[in-house]
C-alpha cells in the first residue's frame, strides 16, 4: 500500500471508479461532462469556478486538474489567483459573518 | 532566458541520436506506455502511408534572430545552416512541376537567408494556390533592411503565418524572449495597415499558438476567439485564423521537459489524449519537408531528428512525386504530439 493518501498518478485513474459500479460511474461522468460544456456560462468561466472550488474543498487532484485545464485555455496566472481570492474571501467571510451571531449573543448576555 | 542554441552550447540533446534514444527508452521501453507504432497498430493504422502530396514545406535555414525556449529547430543567430542558391534552384524545378497546392517556407527566420527574396519572387511565378511564409514577426522590426517585408509579401501575395504564444506580454516574452511581444504587436499592426488579416481581405494572415509550458493546447476555436477579442480590444489588431499547435517532445522543448522534470507527465498527457481520428489526417501523409541542404523528410520534426524519408528518392535533386507517394512514414514516440486531442499540424488541428 502507498504510504501517502494522495498520489498524483492516481488522477489519471479517475475513470476507473466505474469499474466497481458501471451504472453510477457512467452516470456521474456523463453528468460531469455535461456540466462543463458551454452553456449560459463559457467553458473558460466554468474552469475558473472549478479552480476556485477545488481550493475551497482543498482537493489536490482537482487543483492539479483545473490548473492544467486553465493553462490549456490560455487562462493567465493573474486570473487564476484572482479566482482563488474569491474563494478565500467567501471562506473568510463565512467565518466573519458569524461574528454577527457572536455579537448578538454578547449583547443579549452582557449588553 | 536562453540566448544560444543547444548546438552552440554543445548540449547532448543537440544530437538527434540522443533525442531518439530518450524517446525510445524509459517508459516506452519498460512497457509503461505503448510505443507509437503499437498504438497506431491497435486501430489498424500501421504502417502510416504517404498519400498524394498537398503541401511542400521548404526549410531555407536554421538561422533566426530569436532563440525561443521551445524551438523544435534549435534555431538561433548562431546556426549557420543556410540553403544555397543552387539548392533553391533545384527546389524551384520541383515547385514548377509539383501537384501540391501549398508551398510553405519556413526556418529559422526564412527572411534571413540572403537569397530569400529572389527565391520568393521566382517561386511566386509558379502560381501555387497557397504560398506561405512562416515569419516570426520580430524580423520585420529587427533591422532596417527588413522594414519593407510586409510590402514585399503583399507584392507576391504571400500568405503570412506567424507565431504568437499569447495575447499577453508576460507569457509571450517568457517563451520567445524579452521585447518579442511589443515588436510582434508593431509588426502585426503594420501588416494590418496594408490589408493583411483584415476581414474579407485576400491577404491572409494567420497566427500560430503553441503552449508556453508542459501542457497541451486548448480548443482551437475557443483560443481563436479569445485571441481575436484580446488583440482587437488591446491593440486594434485583426487576423484570420489561429492554428493551435502541440509542442513536440524534441530538441529544446525536450530539453525543457527533462530539466523541469515534466517529461514523463507530458508523455502521459500525449498518450492519454491519443486520437485515432487525428492519425487519419496527420500532416506527414500529405506533406513533404525539404531541409536546407535539400534532403527530404516526412515532416519538419523528422528533419530535426534526422530521420529521412523511407524512399529511393532522398534528395530534392532526384525528386519524383510518384515514387514518393505511398512510402511508409518514419515514426517514433514524438509522433504522439501530432495525434493528441484534435491533432496538430503546421496548419493547426486535423481532427
Chain B residue closest to A73 (CA)? B218
Query: For residue B4, is pLDDT > 80?
Result: yes
H-only helix segments in B216-340: 220-235, 251-259, 263-272, 276-280, 300-304, 321-324
Judge whether A58 lies within some domain: yes
Q: What is the mean pLDDT of chain B?
A: 96
Q: Is CATH 2.60.40 correct for B12-338?
A: no
pLDDT value, residue A1: 60
pLDDT value, residue B173: 85
Judge whether A24 lies within some domain: yes
- A74 vs B166, B216, B272: nearest CB: B166
Question: What would the pLDDT profile of B170-227 be if each residue is shown by its tens digit?
Answer: 888 888 888 899 999 999 999 999 999 999 999 999 999 999 999 999 999 999 999 9
Q: Work out how many CB contacts closer than 8 A connect A with B.
A: 31
Q: Predicted confidence band at B43 (pLDDT cuts at 50, 70, 90)?
A: very high
Using a CB–CB cutoff of 8 Å, tell me whether A21 touches chain B. Answer: no
Judge whether A80 lies within some domain: yes
Question: What would the pLDDT profile of B85-130 be if each residue is shown by its tens digit?
Answer: 999 999 999 999 999 999 999 999 999 999 999 999 999 999 999 9
Judge whether A2 lies within some domain: no
Q: Which of B341, B178, B17, B161 is nearest to B349 (CA)?
A: B341
- Write out the residue range of the structural domain in which residue A95 sits: 14-110
- A68 vs B170, B215, B227: nearest CB: B215
Residue B203: strand, helix, or coil: coil
Chain A residue closest to B273 (CA)? A12
Judge whether A92 lies within some domain: yes
Query: For residue A87, is pLDDT > 90?
Result: yes
pLDDT value, residue B176: 84
Question: With the C-alpha atoms ordered B175, B179, B183, B188, is the resulting torsion angle positive or negative?
Answer: positive
Q: Are B107 and B63 in contact (CB under 8 A)?
A: yes
Question: What would the pLDDT profile of B292-320 be if each residue is shown by its tens digit?
Answer: 999 999 999 999 999 999 999 999 999 99
Contact yes or no for A71 and B213 at CB 8 A: yes
Q: What is the pTM of this model?
A: 0.93
pLDDT value, residue A53: 98
| B contact set with A (CB within 8 A) | 166-168, 170-171, 209, 211, 213, 215-219, 222-223, 226-227, 268, 272
> Which of A74, A77, A78 has the highest number of chain B CBs within 10 A, making it the mutation to test binding with B?
A74
Query: For residue B2, is pLDDT > 70?
Result: yes
Residue A47 belongs to a domain with what CATH number?
Answer: 1.20.1290.10
Amino acid at each position: 500500500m502507498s504510504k501517502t493518501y494522495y498520489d498524483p498518478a492516481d488522477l489519471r485513474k479517475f475513470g476507473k471508479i466505474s469499474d466497481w459500479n458501471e451504472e453510477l460511474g457512467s452516470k456521474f461522468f456523463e453528468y460531469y461532462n455535461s456540466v462543463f460544456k458551454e452553456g449560459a456560462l463559457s467553458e473558460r468561466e466554468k474552469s475558473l469556478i472549478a479552480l476556485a472550488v477545488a481550493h475551497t474543498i482543498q482537493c489536490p487532484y482537482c487543483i492539479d486538474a483545473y490548473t492544467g485545464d486553465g493553462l490549456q485555455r490560455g487562462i493567465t496566472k493573474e486570473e487564476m489567483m484572482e479566482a482563488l481570492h474569491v474563494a478565500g474571501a467567501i471562506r473568510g467571510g463565512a467565518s466573519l459573518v458569524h461574528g454577527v451571531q457572536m455579537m448578538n449573543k454578547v449583547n443579549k448576555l452582557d449588553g | 532566458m536562453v540566448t544560444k542554441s543547444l548546438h552552440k552550447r554543445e548540449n547532448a540533446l543537440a544530437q538527434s541520436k540522443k533525442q531518439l534514444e530518450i524517446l525510445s527508452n524509459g517508459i516506452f521501453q519498460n512497457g509503461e506506455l505503448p510505443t507509437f507504432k503499437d498504438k497506431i497498430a491497435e486501430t489498424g493504422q500501421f504502417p502510416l502511408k504517404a498519400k498524394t502530396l498537398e503541401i511542400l514545406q521548404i526549410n531555407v535555414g536554421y538561422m533566426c534572430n530569436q532563440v525561443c525556449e521551445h524551438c523544435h529547430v534549435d534555431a538561433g543567430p548562431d546556426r549557420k545552416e543556410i540553403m544555397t542558391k543552387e539548392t533553391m534552384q533545384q527546389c524551384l524545378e520541383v515547385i514548377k512541376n509539383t501537384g501540391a497546392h501549398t508551398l510553405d517556407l519556413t526556418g529559422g527566420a526564412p527572411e534571413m537567408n540572403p537569397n530569400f527574396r529572389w527565391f520568393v519572387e521566382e517561386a511566386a511565378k509558379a502560381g501555387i494556390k497557397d504560398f506561405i511564409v512562416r515569419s516570426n514577426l520580430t524580423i520585420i522590426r529587427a533591422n532596417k533592411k527588413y522594414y519593407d517585408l510586409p510590402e514585399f509579401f503583399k507584392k507576391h501575395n504571400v500568405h503570412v503565418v506567424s507565431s504568437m504564444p499569447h495575447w499577453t506580454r508576460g507569457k509571450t516574452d517568457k517563451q520567445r524572449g524579452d521585447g518579442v511581444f511589443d515588436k510582434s504587436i508593431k509588426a502585426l499592426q503594420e501588416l494590418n495597415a496594408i490589408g493583411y488579416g483584415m476581414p474579407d481581405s485576400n491577404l491572409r494572415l494567420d497566427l500560430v499558438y503553441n503552449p508556453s509550458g508542459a501542457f497541451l493546447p486548448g480548443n482551437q476555436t475557443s483560443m481563436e476567439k479569445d485571441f481575436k477579442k484580446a488583440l482587437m480590444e488591446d491593440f486594434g489588431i485583426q487576423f484570420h485564423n489561429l492554428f493551435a499547435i502541440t509542442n513536440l517532445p524534441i530538441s529544446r522543448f525536450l530539453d525543457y521537459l527533462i530539466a523541469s522534470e515534466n517529461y514523463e507527465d507530458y508523455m502521459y498527457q500525449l498518450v492519454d489524449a491519443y486520437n485515432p481520428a487525428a492519425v487519419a489526417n496527420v500532416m506527414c501523409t500529405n506533406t513533404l519537408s525539404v531541409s536546407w541542404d535539400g534532403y527530404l523528410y516526412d515532416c519538419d520534426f523528422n528533419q530535426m531528428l534526422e530521420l529521412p524519408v523511407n524512399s529511393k528518392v532522398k534528395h530534392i535533386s532526384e525528386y519524383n512525386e510518384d515514387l514518393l507517394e505511398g512510402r511508409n512514414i518514419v515514426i517514433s514516440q514524438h509522433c504522439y504530439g501530432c495525434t493528441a486531442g484534435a491533432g496538430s499540424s503546421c496548419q493547426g488541428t486535423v481532427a
